[in-house]
Chain A
Amino acid sequence: MSLSDLPAPDAETVYVHVDGERQGPMSRRALYESIRAGRLDTSALFWLPSLGEQWARIGDHPDLVADLRPAVPDTPFETPETHPTESLADQTAVTSTVPTGPRPAATVSTEDDRLDGIFSSLVEQSWDYLQEHRFASHIDEVFLGAVITSTLDAGYSLIDLSSDGENHYLRFENLADGSRVVVRLRHLTGDLAAAKVLGQRASAVVGYGEKMANAGTVVSALKAELKSGFMGSSEPGSIAVDGDLTSGYVYAQVDLFLNIDDYVQPDYTTDHARLSEHLASCVHALRKYLRGRFAE
């Protein structure tokens, strides 16, 4: 089996998979030196860009390091008796020259290693696929946690957390000044196919509320909420007003669509600073609106 588009000897584009752990990127020269030094077995799997989505066994691709070998063989890598670089076809050719008796132990071991390697890569690949599906399904919870962390960093405390299976609801309070922030999140691309086509999208409602001393203000907010109810569907940027007679809070809320990929990377790295800034801008705008409309 030969490889096409081999990278330059010192280009660090090769990955290897050893004992369940991925190592790299490394150059082909570094890979060859590791094999020569006995740090890397040729039964290990490797990957480079020209292999696409496949991993391959080092021993099946002698051309991977052929141009790096010295003129005179100096390592077991080139020794015919224990040639670990033989492909399955090569092994068949070697054993067919043996007239009788069992296969040489070294050949059996190599074949055993090769099949073990394939099995391991199948299992490994299956976990990668499963992880991809899991990431698509639980990224909304990752984002929810990021919203909690960013809002706490802005000086608020979480005081309510609930979910109805489709939406997540969060309520925060600034314990120093009593202002509140409410967030409703709905993941719009919960399956892998939708996420791959559209990206990770979420519908969000962000609200800012303050306690009103005057009950009339709350009633006025409730009337405004009734008017909001006549709006056919929520569109980004439309500010609605809501009031809560029980607690005396009046809220200004806005609908947004968010791209979760802007905040959470596939390796779960989260840009809390960016999220904090975006939430702060919402709170700032809503606070101005609320105070302008319901100034007491």
Chain B
Amino acid sequence: MFNFITKFAHNAELRESKDEIMVGEIVRAMARRGCPSIGFNAGDDRQRIRFLTHTDPLLHSVFVTLDRRTGSGMVSEALLGSKATLTLTAEVKNKLSDPDDLVSMYKTDLANLFKLPVVGGVKLNHELNSVFASRTQIIEIGHYVGRGVEGVDALGVFLNTGIEELAEKLRPYKKA
């Protein structure tokens, strides 16, 4: 009944929890931006959180996906640091969509089929009333975690800059 302690993975060392620490800081940074979390999808090495950007006149939501690549072991952390891929996805939602929109966006989807996922590049996609833009970057978790206020502030700037960039890509797809 009470033994929910067994639900945790019991990471032996703090380095194994760096991505969770980063996720916590991302949640707090987005809360400070006025964006509450509305979805958590947590796996062993991949965490995906969705935030509602309800105060933003353009964006509907933002997804942040953190995928741990290196550093969960002592040797790999010493050699490579704690590298992860962080994918920011911004969503614009239109309250009305029609077949012309779908045909127009289908061309984008088709182009995306042949587009290799280049790190740092912005990719557009759509589903029904939503248009998404996403960008994946390789980051060093240590730049943001374990550095106190400096790291937290750097994370806030990183997220804000990334979200603003995606918002600009999506602006043409937002209907009045």
- B7–A169 touching, CB < 8 Å: yes
Residue in B25, B28, B95, B96 whose Cβ sees the most chain A Cβ within 10 Å: B28
| B104 interface contact, C-beta 8 A | no
Q: How far is the CA of A270 from the CA of B36 in the complex (A)?
A: 8
- A229–B1 touching, CB < 8 Å: yes
- B27–A145 touching, CB < 8 Å: yes
Contacts of A225 in B (CB 8 A): 2-3
Contact with A along B1-28 (1 / 0, CB 8 A): 1111101111100100100110111011
Cβ-closest chain B residue relative to A124: B95
| B52 interface contact, C-beta 8 A | yes
Contact with B along A226-255 (1 / 0, CB 8 A): 001101011000001010101101010100
11 extra interface residue pairs, beta carbon distance < 8 Å, beyond A145-B27, A160-B11, A164-B7: A138-B39, A145-B31, A145-B49, A152-B28, A158-B23, A158-B25, A163-B40, A172-B24, A175-B146, A225-B2, A249-B5
A-B contacts, 9 listed (Cβ < 8 Å):
A145-B30, A145-B36, A148-B24, A158-B24, A160-B9, A162-B9, A164-B7, A173-B17, A182-B8
Indicate whether A162 sits within 8 Å of B42 (C-beta atoms), given known contacts A20-B176, A142-B37, A234-B2: yes
- A244–B21 touching, CB < 8 Å: no
Min CB distance B121 to A, Å, is 29
- A242–B3 touching, CB < 8 Å: yes
Q: How far is the CA of A246 from the CA of B25 in the complex (A)?
A: 27
Indicate whether A205 sits within 8 Å of B7 (C-beta atoms), given known contacts A160-B20, A175-B14: no
Cβ-closest chain A residue relative to B44: A162
| B54 interface contact, C-beta 8 A | yes
Contacts of A138 in B (CB 8 A): 38-39
Contacts from A to B (Cβ < 8 Å): 19-20, 123-124, 127, 138, 141-142, 144-146, 148-149, 152-153, 157-164, 167-169, 171-173, 175, 182, 184, 205, 207, 225, 228-229, 231, 233-234, 240, 242, 244, 246-247, 249, 251, 253, 264, 267-268, 270, 272
- A268–B54 touching, CB < 8 Å: yes
Partner pick for B2 among A127, A253, A270, CB 8 A cutoff: A253
Contacts from B to A (Cβ < 8 Å): 1-5, 7-11, 14, 17, 20-21, 23-25, 27-28, 30-31, 36-40, 42, 47, 49, 52, 54, 95-96, 146, 176
Contacts of B47 in A (CB 8 A): 161
The 9 closest A-B pairs by CB, nearest first: A158-B24, A145-B37, A159-B17, A240-B2, A138-B38, A149-B31, A142-B36, A160-B8, A148-B27
Q: How far is the CA of A220 from the CA of B42 in the complex (A)?
A: 33
Q: How far is the CA of A20 from the CA of B96 in the complex (A)?
A: 11
Cβ-closest chain B residue relative to A175: B14
Q: How far is the CA of A167 from the CA of B4 in the complex (A)?
A: 10
Min CB distance A156 to B, Å, is 8
Min CB distance A168 to B, Å, is 7
- B8–A162 touching, CB < 8 Å: yes
Q: How far is the CA of A136 from the CA of B17 in the complex (A)?
A: 31
Contacts of B14 in A (CB 8 A): 159, 173, 175
Cβ-closest chain A residue relative to B16: A159
Q: How far is the CA of A127 from the CA of B24 in the complex (A)?
A: 31
- B28–A149 touching, CB < 8 Å: yes
Q: How far is the CA of A219 from the CA of B102 in the complex (A)?
A: 63
